[in-house]
Amino acid sequence: MSKKKAINHLNHRRFAFIQEFLKHPLQIGSIIPSSRFLEQRIVKAADIASADVVVELGPGTGGTTRALLRAMPAHARLLCIELNPSFHALLGRINDERLITHLGSARDLRKILAMYNLDAPNVVVSGIPFSTMSHSAGTEIIETISSVLAPKGRFVAYQARDRVAILCRPILGTGQSVTELLNIPPMRIYQWQKHFA
User: Dmax of the chain from CA atoms?
Assistant: 49
Q: What is the helix, strand, coil percentage profile of the chain, to 5?
A: 45, 20, 35
pLDDT digits (tens, 9 = 90+) for 92-111: 999 999 999 999 999 999 99
- CATH code assigned at 9: 3.40.50.150
Residue 13 or residue 153, greater confidence: 153
Residue 44, C-beta contacts closer than 8 angstroms, at least 6 positions apart = none
pTM: predicted TM-score of the whole model, two decimal places:
0.84
Phi-psi region of 62 (alpha: psi -120 to 50; beta: other; left: phi over 0): left
* pLDDT (0 to 100) of residue 30: 47
Q: How far apart are CA 124 and CA 153, in angstroms?
A: 8
| Identity of the residue numbered 143 | E
Specify whether the backbone of 13 is left (phi greater than 0), alpha (psi in -120 to 50) or beta.
alpha
- Which pLDDT value is given to residue 33? 73
pLDDT band at 1 (very low <50, low <70, confident <90, very high): low
Q: What range defines the domain where residue 140 resides?
A: 3-193
The 10s digit of each residue's pLDDT in 4-24 is: 555 454 445 444 444 444 444
Inter-residue contact 51 to 98 (CB < 8 Å): no
For 77-96, write each residue's pLDDT tens digit.
999 999 999 999 999 999 99
Count of structural domains, the chain: 1
Residue 59 scores a pLDDT above 60? yes
